[in-house]
Structure 1
Amino acid sequence: MSSVVFSSVVRVEDGLPLSASTDYEQDPELQAARRCLKGLSKKMGQFPDRCTLRTGPYHVNFTCALGVAYLMVCTSSYPPVLAFCFLEELQKEFIVSYDARRVRSAVRPYCFIQFDTFIQKTKQRYNSPRSLSTRINLADMQTEIRLRPPYQLSPEDLQAVNGAAAPTACKYKAPSQVLSPVSLSGVVSCVLSLLCGGLNLLRGVHAIESILQNDDEDFNYVIAFFLGTAACLYQVRWPLPVLIVGL
């Protein structure tokens, strides 16, 4: 049977629920649709102002205006024109009943729960379409939907806004490094640094031999020679690979 099942009103800025209809049904598929509605309500600002999400045998429809979103769950066979007329009626009544200042200052969930009375009455009317007297409004909405159809959301859209989408490969590419041969002065500097490093290493080895033969020698000389070797090798850490490429 085609029907409106559930409806709620939320603040777009932060997804705070302001009012909702009472729902006693425990159908697992309906509960899944309500979870989709709850997920959408937290990210309303990321979607167009009129959307439809298909989830199993149910559709989640919503519309936004003046910082407030009006959402509803209906069966998949429920006519879209009736669904959005239903939301439009909720929107008009809510704007008349609560000004923008009260909406902005709301801090508690469902602080406008008394609006549920109007939601329930409107839901009953729209679940009996033959009793509707707003034929002109229905015609206007049908024309509007034909000219500007609701954006069809996909489950991937819902997953993406809730951070559950599968990770995608990063499209950023690190800047490539191009090696080019060093200049003549760079080659000379590299060779001299290697020679100095070799000499310091050789002098360090001789200093160790001298210490082994004479106990009174100062070990600080050995440290100084090896530090000099390390410094020379550090100076050629970048030119050496480039020099090899150039050769």
Structure 2
Amino acid sequence: MSMIFFACVVRMRDGLPLSASTDFYHTQDFMECRRRLKTLALQLAHYPGRGSAEGGDFRIYFSSSGDVACMAICSHQCPAAMVFCFLETLWWEFTASYDTTCICLASRPYAFLEFDSIIQKMKWHFNHISSSQMESSLEKVQEELEIQPPVVVTLEDTDVANGVVNGHTPMHLEPASNFRMEPVTALGILSLVLNIMCAALNLIRGVHLAEHSLQVAQEQIGNILAFLIPFVACIFQCYLYLFYSPARTVKVMLMLLFICLGNVYLHGLRNLWQIFFHIGVAFLSSYQILTRQLQEKQSNCGV
């Protein structure tokens, strides 16, 4: 009879699942335990290297070190020493297969899907090996557990900490770097090029005016700022188009307002065609930013 039912590798800093064994169990208790495992994975950075938690009819174990943590769902009859021996072996196999850079740059769940087969083989091996065959390894782990017992986590506390009330899981806001945007379009590239060109023109005119105005008149400071503020706004528009940012609409409107007010203020130093060009590019960039959406999250690949 299987004792280790499910195993996965997650990233410590944000709980992103990197790889997992194929899930053949679909009972209500097991699926609830899987949900709680995901909740616990988000908080592993706050716990010591080894720990366990009750999950209904199952028990959740975790072992972490460095950038990676390994987690498992097991039966209550499974010896803790065997589970931690399994998790430690799994950790060594994973970290030997993928370096720190690959782990840190992973941006989607189950980015290392090919490692799933190794997890399956290891899970089968530990489920069918006898205690006598790995007696020395189990004794070593058992001694470590007696010296430093694993922390016991209450899953209800982790649920509350993650805002889960009455069994309902809220939306989890991931770090902005983990959001994947839709591919850049040709019109989007054009807006970037024009925006960079407008930013360069504003910077050159602003610096040139500053060099010739510091000893002339203090009223020129307004004109200098009217060049430099739109320069910053243009650069920030490029950033908003390339990368996801919370409250994106508000930021886009503010940048557009700064560019429009700056160019209106410069009436006299710029002719109408130049003003219309800069404002037109700002509107085009704003439209491209607001219409470039996030990609839908990929399914968890059947694991």
Q: TM-score, with normalisation over the residues of structure 2?
A: 0.52
**1:163 positional shift:** 2.4
Show CA shifts across 1:164-209 (max 9, x none): 479xxxxxxxxxxxxxxxxxxxxxxxxxxxxxxxxxxxxxxxxxxx
Whole-angstrom distance in 1 between the partners of 2:20 and 2:29: 19
Equivalent residues of 1:53, 1:60 under 8 A apart: yes
**1:155 positional shift:** 2.7
Q: What is aligned with 1:230? A: none
Q: Does 1:82 align with 2:82?
A: yes
Q: What is aligned with 1:107? A: 107
Q: What is aligned with 1:60? A: 60
Q: What is aligned with 2:5? A: 5
Equivalent residues of 1:126, 1:132 under 8 A apart: no
The 3 A distance-change label for structure 1 pair 131 and 152 is: closer
Q: What is aligned with 1:198? A: none
Q: TM-score, with normalisation over the residues of structure 1?
A: 0.63
Match of 2:10, as an amino acid?
V
The 3 A distance-change label for structure 1 pair 132 and 38 is: farther
Show CA shifts across 1:69-95 (max 9, x none): 100000111110111001001011111
Q: Does 1:151 align with 2:136?
A: no
Q: What is aligned with 1:93? A: 93
Equivalent residues of 2:40, 2:155 under 8 A apart: no
Secondary structure in 1 matching 2:9: strand
Match of 1:93, as an amino acid?
E
Question: Alignment RMSD, CA only?
Answer: 1.8
Q: What is aligned with 1:46? A: 46
Match of 2:30, as an amino acid?
L
- Unpaired runs of 5+ residues, structure 1, are 167-247
Secondary structure in 2 matching 1:53: strand
- Aligned-residue sequence identity (percent) comes to 37
Show CA shifts across 1:108-141 (max 9, x none): 2111111111110110111113177433221110
Whole-angstrom distance in 2 between the partners of 1:106 and 1:149: 32
Show CA shifts across 1:28-60 (max 9, x none): 111111111111112211222211001221000
**Aligned residues between the structures:** 166
Whole-angstrom distance in 1 between the partners of 2:47 and 2:165: 17
Whole-angstrom distance in 2 between the partners of 1:42 and 1:117: 24
Q: What is aligned with 2:193? A: none
Match of 1:82, as an amino acid?
M
Q: Does 1:37 align with 2:69?
A: no
Q: Does 1:128 align with 2:128?
A: yes
Equivalent residues of 1:50, 1:62 under 8 A apart: yes
Whole-angstrom distance in 1 between the partners of 2:162 and 2:132: 38
Secondary structure in 2 matching 1:134: helix
Match of 1:99, as an amino acid?
D
Equivalent residues of 1:52, 1:152 under 8 A apart: yes
Match of 1:6, as an amino acid?
F
The 3 A distance-change label for structure 1 pair 160 and 49 is: farther
Whole-angstrom distance in 1 between the partners of 2:17 and 2:81: 25
Secondary structure in 2 matching 1:73: strand
Structure of larger gyration radius: 1
Q: Please list every run of at least 4 consecutive aligned residues from structure 1 whose deviation after the TM superposition is greater than 6 angstroms.
A: none
The 3 A distance-change label for structure 1 pair 164 and 74 is: same
Q: Does 1:19 align with 2:56?
A: no
Whole-angstrom distance in 1 between the partners of 2:164 and 2:105: 31
Whole-angstrom distance in 1 between the partners of 2:125 and 2:131: 7
Whole-angstrom distance in 1 between the partners of 2:63 and 2:163: 23
